[in-house]
Amino acid sequence: MGKNKAKAWLKLAAIIALCVCICAEGLAATLQMGSSGDEVKTLQTKLKRWGYYAGSIDGIFGAATKRAVIAFQKKNGLTADGIVGAATLKALGMNAQSGGAGNSAGSSNANGSLYLLARLVYGEARGEPYKGQVAVAAVVLNRVKSSQFPNSVSGVIYQSGAFSVVDDGQINLTPDETAIKAARDAMNGYDPTNGCLFYYNPAKTTNKWMLSKPVLLKIGNHSFFK
Amino acid sequence: MDEERGRRSARNNEEMSEIDAINAMNAIDRISGTRGGADGLWAGVTPKGMRDIMLNGGAEDMPPNVEQPPREDKPQAQGGQASSGRGAWRTAGRIALPIALTAALIITAVWGNGQRALAENYRQQSENAYRRAFIELCDHMDNLQTALGKLRVTAAPGQYMLLLDDIWRLSGACVSLMGQIPAAHLDRAELNSFVVRIGDYAHALSKKALNAEGRSAEDDEQLNLLYASCVRISRELNDRLSIGDIPTAAIANEDYYQSGDAEQGVKEDEDIAKFPTLIYDGPFSESSEKLEPRGLGGPSVTAEAARTIAQRLTLAADLESDGETGGSIPTWDFRAAQQDGSELYASISKQGGKLVWFMGSAAGNANGIPAEDRQRRLKAAAQDWLGMAGYDNMQATYAQYYGGAAVINFAATLDGIILYNDLVKVWVDMETEKVIGADARNYIFSHAERELETPAISAEEAEAKVSLNLEIEARALALIPLTVETEKLCYEFKGRCGDDEYIVYIDAQTGEERQIFTIINTENGQLTA
């Protein structure tokens, strides 16, 4: 009983700590009634483009801007308080300025593919030597570049039947640091397989076609071929 | 719970708690409608009684003390007639077990039925998705065939471009749909390649048309072949559709590599005959997929000599053999255990004894761009290593900082002109500032002795061609890859449009705009897209 109580207190403390963190972050980059500047201009531009705001883009957070923000928050399932905090900024696609290099207006989805690739690597090759993990990621990227396969990372990975970890759901495991690093190294050009498109585990497969192909290299439990 | 109880009462009659026993007896009393009898009565429970028990969900479900047991039962149960009481427990157990098992069976059956319905629902949904993809593929292939047909007879440039655009789009859609249909890779690969190349080829034709190059007689011939193949494929697909031969069963990994034809060798030859070979210059063209490295010269080296080279360049003490790799750049592979338990790998080309790549691991795990003086030192360390490895005249272009290492791209330069194709990536540990990895594959593929043309237009003339929206900040001359097999000498203009940075390339011969890159600043460094 005492143990449970202690646990409950601990949970409560953690929640409070979390709230404090979120609040602190919110305060760090908050736009609200009375704010002004370029950030507010960006905010107004976005709200206007999406049809929430009809006023002028003057860079001053007034009543009309607040109404627009509330409308946006309601539509997007956010707390409709008219204050643009971290969550609302994120929903607006406005990154809280942390100074430095992160000021590019353009964005890329490279991280999405990277993470998906890392999940595949983790599912297929955790426990393999690092070189073997990079090699599995490289095979996916080689397939993307090949005419025989779909032309995107997600297309290749989710191609029906292509990877057993996609069939059995292991693809959804959270990848470890090593798998993420392997995926990134492969995306940066490392290819230990020298252009291979397939790999198999000789101990597990009985597939005639695979076994008939000349193996270009072996890493850990996997044999790679083109 | 029921099951557990039942098992307990069956196995440990003697240990059954008093309350359990009384409850069970009461329950059975109630059901049979008589009470007072001992052994004889228990033994005489009729099948009807059993059914009632089942309907009531088993004796154990009876709440305790719902009905106060009559007084005369108590002494009987508690030991006045000990032997007959024990017999009662045993009999109660004998009944409780089947009851519990039957209950469990019913529950399992109900649960199982629910699961079956759920699974059926999922199966139906995925089957619908497969069916939709297949029907859409048939439609698109039909349209692709029509567009190819029209392309042969159009004379208007505008119509020609629109049709090429259509073909490019339809090919992309077909490829995406094919990826969603469950089929063995072997059955699909050739068709996939064919459809990809149709789009690729259409794209190459649009580029040609934009450069005011007309269609050649070869192109006309290829188009005729393409059209014929497309008609055949489209008909085959639609035939399958009309007889309902649609692949709808999800396939497993093993099926993916399994083909209907066991004799794969025969099949491959047939496939090659089935689809025409296209000759053009595009990212998926056959010639580009069979690209041979240009930068591999010199005599072949033995594994021992390769080890010496690897040792010198990776600074690893005891490299052991890690086999070899075949393919377009055959290599000797090595590995070495590092002090921190990680491994270092290296590959040396068998021909020419060049380091293709080596990969160690960083000591730290820092991400993000370091301070400027450190950036300079990291770059200098990489440059020193390149000098040692025999890469002279290399210029640092972009860098990323992640996982404890800086990845710095270096491009070769020739008379001050950057050769972006001749690329070497160098990994430098951000903590120790030592080189921990390199990748020279690109360099080996593309490096050759080049004769660069002199620009036909001046930098000022080129600058006049750049959009006024770009505020130019830097300019240079560069040789850039245009397609897999062609390179162009261009003026490079770096500049800004609003907050975004762009690089625009203007052809140094014709003044055409050849390429635009946008620079993506991330917290880990710069990327181009």
Beta bridge partners of B408: B399, B426
- What confidence category does residue A60 fall into, taking pLDDT thresholds of 50, 70 and 90? confident
B265 has a pLDDT exceeding 50: no
Q: What are phi and psi of A207, to 5 degrees?
A: -65, 120
Interatomic CA distance for residues B153 and B159, integer angstroms = 10
Mean pLDDT, to the nearest integer, of B56-76?
47
- What confidence category does residue B490 fall into, taking pLDDT thresholds of 50, 70 and 90? very high
Kindly list the distances between the CA atom of residue B425 and the CA atoms of B272, B409, B420, in Å, as whole numbers in the listed order: 38, 5, 12
> Tens digits of per-residue pLDDT, A141-195?
999 999 999 989 999 999 988 999 998 899 999 999 889 989 999 998 899 999 9
User: Is the CB of residue A44 less than 8 Å from the CB of residue A65?
Assistant: yes
The ipTM assigned to this model is 0.75
Q: Which residues are CB-neighbours of B249 under 8 A, at least 6 positions away?
A: B182
Predicted confidence at residue A123, as pLDDT, reads 95
A9 has a pLDDT exceeding 50: yes
B42 has a pLDDT exceeding 70: no
For residue B286, what is the nearest residue in chain A, using CA coordinates? A147
Please count the helices (runs of H) and the strands (runs of E) in chain B.
Answer: 16, 13
- What confidence category does residue A6 fall into, taking pLDDT thresholds of 50, 70 and 90? low
- For the record, the structure tokens of B426 come out as 């160098």
- For the record, the structure tokens of B479 come out as 């040789």
Report the DSSP pairing between strands B525-528 and B435-439. Answer: unpaired
Chain A residues 131-170 with a CB less than 8 Å from chain B? 131, 134, 145-151, 155-156, 158-164, 167
Beta-carbon-side half-sphere exposure of residue B470 (alpha carbons within 13 Å): 21
Cβ <8 Å between A101 and B256:
no
Output the DSSP codes for B451-480: -PPPPSS-HHHHHHHS-TTSEEEEEEEEEE
Tokens 């290296």 sit on residue? B346
Cβ <8 Å between A188 and B400:
yes
Please tell me which residue, B292 or B273, carries the higher pLDDT value.
Answer: B292
Tokens 């210059």 sit on residue? B281
Measured at the CA of A144, the angle between CA A132 and CA A135, to 5 degrees, comes to 5
Tally of CB atoms within 10 A around B4: 10
Instruction: Sort out which chain A residues have CB atoms less than 8 A from B182's CB and list them.
Output: 160-161
- What confidence category does residue A100 fall into, taking pLDDT thresholds of 50, 70 and 90? very low
Interatomic CA distance for residues A44 and A54, integer angstroms = 9
Interatomic CA distance for residues B209 and B214, integer angstroms = 6
Cβ <8 Å between A148 and B185:
yes
B371 has a pLDDT exceeding 50: yes
Using CB atoms within 10 A of its CB, is residue B326 exposed (0-12), middle (13-18) or buried (19+)? middle
> Tens digits of per-residue pLDDT, B387-429?
999 998 999 988 989 888 999 999 999 988 999 989 999 999 9
Q: Buried b / exposed e across B164-202, counting CB within 10 Å, b at 16+?
A: bebbbbbbebbbbbbbbbbbbbbbbbbbbbbbbbbbbbb
Interatomic CA distance for residues B435 and B381, integer angstroms = 7
Instruction: Sort out which chain B residues have CB atoms less than 8 A from A196's CB and list them.
Output: 327
User: Is the CB of residue B321 less than 8 Å from the CB of residue B334?
Assistant: yes
> Tens digits of per-residue pLDDT, B129-144?
999 999 999 999 999 9
> Tens digits of per-residue pLDDT, B206-264?
988 988 888 888 889 999 989 999 999 999 999 999 988 888 888 888 888 876 554 44
Interatomic CA distance for residues B148 and B136, integer angstroms = 18
List helix spans (H) across B154-260. Answer: 157-178, 185-210, 217-242, 253-256
Mean pLDDT, to the nearest integer, of B30-41?
44
Predicted confidence at residue B57, as pLDDT, reads 43
DSSP state of B15: G
Interatomic CA distance for residues B12 and B188, integer angstroms = 63
B211 to chain A, any CB pair closer than 8 A? The answer is: no
Q: Cα Rg for chain A, rounded, in angstroms?
A: 25
Mean pLDDT, to the nearest integer, of A105-129?
81
Predicted confidence at residue B160, as pLDDT, reads 93
Q: List strands edge to edge, sheet with A198-200.
A: A198-200, A222-225, A217-219
Mean pLDDT, to the nearest integer, of A61-88?
81
User: Is the CB of residue B125 less than 8 Å from the CB of residue B37?
Assistant: no
Predicted confidence at residue B196, as pLDDT, reads 93
User: Is the CB of residue A96 less than 8 Å from the CB of residue A28?
Assistant: yes
Q: Which residues are CB-neighbours of B307 under 8 A, at least 6 positions away?
A: B319, B321, B332, B334, B348
Predicted confidence at residue B295, as pLDDT, reads 81
User: Is the CB of residue B527 less than 8 Å from the CB of residue B369?
Assistant: no
Cβ <8 Å between B256 and A161:
yes
Instruction: Sort out which chain B residues have CB atoms less than 8 A from A118's CB and list them.
Output: none
Predicted confidence at residue A14, as pLDDT, reads 52
Interatomic CA distance for residues B9 and A170, integer angstroms = 42
User: Is the CB of residue A55 less than 8 Å from the CB of residue A70?
Assistant: no
Please tell me which residue, B201 or B83, carries the higher pLDDT value.
Answer: B201
Predicted confidence at residue B516, as pLDDT, reads 93
> Tens digits of per-residue pLDDT, A26-56?
344 577 887 877 778 878 887 887 778 888 8
Distance (Å) from the C-alpha of residue A101 to the closest C-alpha of chain B? Answer: 6
B39 has a pLDDT exceeding 50: no
Of all residues in chain B, the percent with pLDDT exceeding 70 is: 81
Please tell me which residue, B476 or B278, carries the higher pLDDT value.
Answer: B476
Predicted confidence at residue A7, as pLDDT, reads 62
Tally of CB atoms within 10 A around A1: 5
DSSP state of A189: T
- What confidence category does residue B54 fall into, taking pLDDT thresholds of 50, 70 and 90? very low
Distance (Å) from the C-alpha of residue A93 to the closest C-alpha of chain B? Answer: 15
Please tell me which residue, B118 or B18, carries the higher pLDDT value.
Answer: B118
Distance (Å) from the C-alpha of residue B262 to the closest C-alpha of chain A? Answer: 8
A:B CB pairs within 8 Å:
164
Nearest to B338 by CA among B367, B312, B362: B362
Predicted confidence at residue B51, as pLDDT, reads 45
B449 has a pLDDT exceeding 60: yes
- For the record, the structure tokens of B473 come out as 């900040």
**Signed CA dihedral, B318, B320, B326, B330: sign only:** positive
Greatest alpha-carbon pair distance for chain A in Å reads: 73
For residue B518, what is the nearest residue in chain A, using CA coordinates? A106
Q: What is the signed CA dihedral for B449, B453, B458, B459, rounded to 10 degrees? A: -20
Predicted confidence at residue B271, as pLDDT, reads 46
Instruction: Sort out which chain A residues have CB atoms less than 8 A from B252's CB and list them.
Output: 161, 164, 167
Tally of CB atoms within 10 A around B347: 30
Chain A residues 22-51 with a CB less than 8 Å from chain B? none
